[in-house]
Amino acid sequence: MSAPQFWPGRYTDRHGNEAVVFESDGRESIRTTIRGVRFEGDSMDDLGALGGEPPEAPFTFFDGALCSCLLEWEVPMSVTVEGQGVRTAVLDCALRLGAPAGPGRGLDTETLTTTLRLDGHAYRSAEGHDDFEDALNEVQRRLPPGSRLKACVSCAWSDYHPAGHGLMAALACFRDAKDLYRQVDGKHGPRGIFKTWQEHTESVQETWLCEEFEDRAGDTGYRGPFPSRPLS
């Protein structure tokens, strides 16, 4: 994988807001410092304080992770544009984490909004997506014909576990098992994703990109094409 990325962002809660920087390794590690406290998690909705117990106010936590706040950040992304090659874009992300809804009930709200900014145009997903898979599928559908996101989410060698996944960073990369993954045609059976799952190289973030990227074409793997077919 390539070197870590540093995403400029902002943290906001009822106590105020401040500029922050999120450090990502592209796999399952995101770190930042907020009000002098160091946080780390494998996803933006799982940022806990490093070194043990969560600090006292001015923060709110649920199961050890930040909540009752708004996290905003910018991710550099590549887009292939027909006739122009690869262009540089920025994905603006906003994740609103609500208050604890009660014991065993999670948060009362968790909404993700993404906006891709490319060559002076903005391609925005609807508010309220549960994860980056859905948000980036919608962004891709809004792009002009001949434009394709170039990232792990649109790569030929990536797939999700049939049991489901969280907000981000649970996308399995099969770059070291390409021949096996080419044969996957569903969930079960001798060529199902369950049969091949243990061969995946690692889990990656949807917005990441490595040198072995190949565009996802056709109805391949367990999850099928990118963008996915809208529900009828």
pLDDT in tens, 97-146: 998 876 666 788 889 999 999 999 999 987 777 899 999 999 999 999 99
Helix/strand/coil for 36: coil
pTM of the predicted protein model? 0.92
Which residue from 70, 69, 52, 51 is spatially nearest to 60, judged by alpha carbons? 69
For the segment 133-167, what is each residue's pLDDT rounded down to a tens digit?
A: 999 999 999 999 999 999 999 999 999 999 999 99
227 preceded by cis ω (within 30°)?
yes
How far does CA 37 lie from the centroid of its chain?
24
